[in-house]
């Protein structure tokens, strides 16, 4: 695949996903930092790239644009080892991708954003986010007690999507010690993606 440009924010797990996949698969990529806290994702120029006003956005070599972190990963990883060839395994990967966006990110990532960037405290943050986030981590624990990766024995986009905010879950007040299989999987996937441990860096 030819080079892509990723418009992203360095604090955003959604933005890391496409960068990690491009790096792992050897797709040349350029990163353009967008300061979402200063409104740079709402300027007229940015809205031409993504009318939804969100990062990440990928711009392909021919100028076409693509938003939504999981769509960007899927485009980059088409035909690669990160997408299972077996149709059932591939559908299980999609199951995790959709689940991540509806159940995991809206609790684990949002609680982190509230505490880390929006000035909320353990006292003022929406109390429902903790229960919902822990339920999401428990769902992953159930699977990862059975298999080393979310879909069987091999790394797939399901792992890349779900690890993005799980590896920084402690910044949202979640304790991965309660989810030992998830904790071991985070270390495994970080190794596979050639990432330094986010937990130790914290
Ligand atoms: N479902 C989208 C979510 C994108 C998203 O929420 N982006 C956030 C950063 S993580 C953003 O751009 N926020 C700034 C804004 O909405 O103005 C994806 O997976 O790409």
Would you give the distance in Å from CA 100 to the centre of its chain?
Answer: 8
Dist. CA 110–CA 130, nearest whole Å? 10
**Structure confidence by residue, pLDDT tens digits, 7-54:** 999 999 999 999 999 999 999 999 999 999 999 999 999 999 999 999
Q: Which of 10, 11, 53, 54 to mutate to test the pocket of ligand 1 (most atoms within 8 A of CB)?
A: 54
Q: What is the b/e burial string over 143-171, where b = at least 16 CB atoms within 10 angstroms of the residue's CB?
A: bbeeeebbbbeebbbbbbbbbbbbbbbeb
CA of 165 relative to ligand 1 center, distance in Å: 13
Residues of the chain above pLDDT 70, percent: 99
Q: Which two tokens stand for residue 64?
A: 């076409």
Ligand 1 neighbours (beta carbon < 6 A): 9, 12, 14, 36, 41, 53-56, 68-70, 101
* Fold (topology level) of 4-77: Glutaredoxin (3.40.30)
pLDDT at 159: 99
Residue nearest to atom 2 of ligand 1 (CA): 68
4-8 and 29-33 strand pairing: parallel
**Region 84-98: what's the mean pLDDT?**
98
| pLDDT at 2 exceeding the cut of 80 | no
Spatial distance between the Cα atoms of 73 and 8, rounded to a whole number of angstroms: 14
pLDDT of residue 201: 56
d(CA 50, CA 119): 27
Nearest CA to ligand 1 atom 12: 54
How many whole angstroms separate alpha carbon 82 and alpha carbon 85? Answer: 9
Rounded to the nearest integer, the mean pLDDT of the chain is: 97
| End-to-end Cα, the chain, rounded Å | 35
Outline which parts of the chain fall under CATH 3.40.30.10: 4-77
Name the band, by pLDDT with cuts 50, 70 and 90, for residue 70: very high
- pLDDT at 95 (0 to 100): 98
Residue that has been written with the tokens 């969100």 in this structure: 54
The hierarchical CATH code for the domain 87-196 is 1.20.1050.10
Give strand ranges (E) for the chain. Answer: 4-8, 29-33, 57-59, 65-67
What percentage of the chain exceeds 90 in pLDDT? 96
Q: Looking at the predicted structure, is the pLDDT value of residue 200 above 80?
A: no
CA distance 79 to 81: 7
- Per residue in 150-193, pLDDT (tens digit) is 999 999 999 999 999 999 999 999 999 999 999 999 999 999 99
């Amino acid at each position: 695949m030819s080079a892509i440009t990723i418009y992203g924010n360095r604090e955003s797990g959604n933005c890391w996903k496409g960068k990690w996949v491009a790096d792992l698969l050897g797709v040349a990529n350029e990163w353009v930092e967008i300061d979402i806290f200063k409104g740079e994702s709402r300027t007229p120029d940015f809205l031409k790239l993504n009318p939804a006003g969100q990062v990440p956005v990928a711009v392909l070599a021919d100028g076409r644009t693509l938003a939504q972190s999981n769509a960007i990963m899927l485009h980059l990883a088409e035909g690669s080892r990160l997408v299972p060839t077996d149709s059932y395994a591939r559908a299980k990967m999609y199951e995790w991708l959709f689940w991540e966006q509806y159940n995991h990110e809206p609790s684990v990532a949002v609680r982190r954003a509230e505490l880390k960037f929006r000035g909320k405290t353990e006292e003022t943050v929406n109390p429902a986010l903790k229960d919902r986030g822990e339920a999401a981590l428990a769902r992953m624990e159930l699977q990862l007690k059975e298999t080393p990766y979310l879909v069987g024995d091999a790394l797939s986009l399901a792992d890349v999507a779900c690890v993005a905010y799980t590896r920084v879950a402690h910044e949202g007040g979640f304790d991965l010690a309660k989810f030992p299989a998830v904790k071991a999987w985070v270390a495994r996937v970080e190794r596979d993606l050639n990432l330094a441990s986010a937990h130790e860096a914290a």
